[in-house]
Amino acid sequence: MSQPQEILLAEPRGFCAGVDRAIEIVERALQKFGAPIHVRHEIVHNTYVVNDLKAKGAIFIEELAEVPPGATLVFSAHGVSKAVQNEAEARGFRIFDATCPLVSKVHVEVAKLAQEGYEFIMIGHKGHPEVEGTMGQLEHGIHLVEDVADVARVQPLQTKLLAVVTQTTLSVDDAAEITAAVRARFPSVREPKQQDICYATQNRQDAVKVLSAQVDLMIVVGSPTSSNSNRLRELAVKLGIPAYMVDSAEELRPEWFEGVTRVGLTAGASAPEILVRQVVDRIKALGAVSVRTVPGMEETIKFPLPKGLKIEAAV
């Protein structure tokens, strides 16, 4: 039985600026106001991150009725609907919004175009909290399509003022195909000036494309609920590479590595680097002797924290 020889690390991989910011918001809220801090939904879709914050005093809830009066509440990076926002305000919580600014940008666009009379076609995955949050920016007028077949079925009330928006963490190639189908059916549809799919999703998918040409197996570190992590695994499979997604190093199975010389390793935008390191150690224990990073797009973007959680400048 041959063993893996080399691990090739994707770059970029792991945390994006929106995830960094969301986790920091919860950590700072814990420091400033003390435990417990309530968080609506998993702050980001990663088991390790959620458990770590739970240990520090965060309580994750789905329904606002579970949050006691006067509590501090953080909205997750995926964003919330207007109804959730209004209910949280009405209940009088101290609120910090960890919605990724790139998701908020889509919300702002929807609100602005709705005022001009637009109806929307949203490309996304049904039931994902980001989709619920974006669709919930309006009471009606956003139609969800998940694939090309849905585009043929969708029935907007009018087609003169129609705009397309997308979830930020889709497969870039699938979204392009679905958008093309929307354009073919509704030629005057308005498309975002810059795609709604975020830079982090795009860059991590680009890195998997580069890596897939060089490896026999792809491992993606990410939780099953993480949209962008799932898309990375699917992309490698589409490119003809066997690929597995693992939430932790313990999930790696020795039989995956049989006959494999080079292993590609990446991580979704919500997966911390510590898990990547643990996966590297485990693959080394299975025989890999070298680790090499395949250079890719450098990411320097950082998002500011909300007011009230910034460190005050020393006087």
Tell me the C-alpha distance between 1 and 278, whole Å: 24
The least CB distance from residue 144 to ligand SF4, in Å, is 18
User: Which two three-digit tokens encode residue 24?
Assistant: 């920091």
**Residue ranges that bind ligand SF4, judged by CB under 6 A:** 16-19, 77, 100, 102-103, 168-169, 198, 200-201, 228, 269
- When the beta carbons of 162 and 205 are compared against ligand SF4, the nearer one is 205
**By Cβ distance, which residue is nearest to ligand SF4?**
18
CB of 196 to ligand SF4, least distance (A): 9
- Min separation Cβ 288 and ligand SF4, Å: 29
130 an active-site residue? yes
CA-nearest of 249, 241, 245 to 285 is: 249
> Is 270 a known ligand-binding residue?
yes
Residue 190 is classified by DSSP as B
Residue 41 assigned as binding residue? no
> For ligand SF4, which is the closer residue by CB, 72 or 167?
167
The DSSP element (H or E) to which 307 belongs, if any, is none
Shortest reach from residue 228's CB to ligand SF4, in Å: 5
* Beta carbon nearer to ligand SF4, 99 or 288: 99
Smaller CB separation from ligand SF4, 263 or 271: 271
What string of DSSP letters covers 92-153?
T-EEEE---HHHHHHHHHHHHHHHTT-EEEEES-TT-HHHHHHHTTSSS-EEEE-SHHHHHH
Phi, psi (degrees; rounded to nearest 5) at 220: -115, 125
227 is in an annotated binding site: yes
The residue from 11, 27, 109, 130 that is catalytic is 130
Is residue 125 within 8 A of residue 116, CB to CB? The reply is: no
Q: Residue 162 or 200: which CB sits closer to ligand SF4?
A: 200
| Contact indicator for 198, 102 with CB cutoff of 8 Å | yes
Where b means 16+ CB within 10 Å and e means fewer, 66-83 reads: ebeeebbbbbbbbbbbee
Q: In the numeric block, which tokens belong to residue 185? A: 């059916």
Is 45 annotated in a binding site? The answer is: yes
Distance CA 142, CA 13 (A): 32
168 is known to lie in a ligand binding site: yes
Q: Is 188 annotated as a binding residue?
A: no
Q: How far is the CB of 102 from ligand SF4 (least distance, A)?
A: 4
Cβ within 8 Å of residue 129, ≥6 positions away? 41, 76, 78, 79
Known binding-site residue numbers for isopentenyl diphosphate: 45, 78, 128, 226-228, 270
Known binding-site residue numbers for [4Fe-4S] cluster: 16, 100, 198
Known binding-site residue numbers for dimethylallyl diphosphate: 45, 78, 128, 226-228, 270
Active site residues: 130
Known binding-site residue numbers: 16, 45, 78, 100, 128, 168, 198, 226-228, 270
